[in-house]
Amino acid sequence: MGNSMLDDVAQTLRNKGITIYIFGVEGVIQNELLTMAGSEDKCFYVDTSEGLGNFTANVTNNICDISVSDCLKKADVIFLLDGSRNIDEENFRTMMDFVTL
């Protein structure tokens, strides 16, 4: 998916009030992550899957730093993981462990 299409899709979601957080691990194109997230404070990257646990507190603080009046609605949370051949089984398990924290 090209940068323009990524930007269009992400902007459509943001226009509907959806907040997008992006987590990238090892070998991703960081510019594409930023395009999807829309701002650097919603874009997180680590060099290896072992580094995922190191920024859990930072992510939690960022997501939970929302005023109470903004949190009155229920929200669906979706984790989209790369399950392609680019990710070996061990790294996929690490990602699964991270999203189930």
What's the domain range around 56?
3-99
SS3 readout for 29-70: CHHHHHHHHCCHHHEEEECCHHHHHHHHHHHHHHHHCCCHHH
> How many domains, the chain?
1
Distance, CA of 96 to chain centre:
13
Is a pLDDT exceeding 70 seen at residue 1? no
Q: What is the pLDDT at residue 68?
A: 54
Q: What is the pLDDT at residue 70?
A: 57
pTM for the full predicted model: 0.58
The pLDDT tens digits for 36-87 are 888 888 888 888 777 777 777 677 777 676 555 555 666 677 777 777 777 7
Q: What is the pLDDT at residue 75?
A: 65
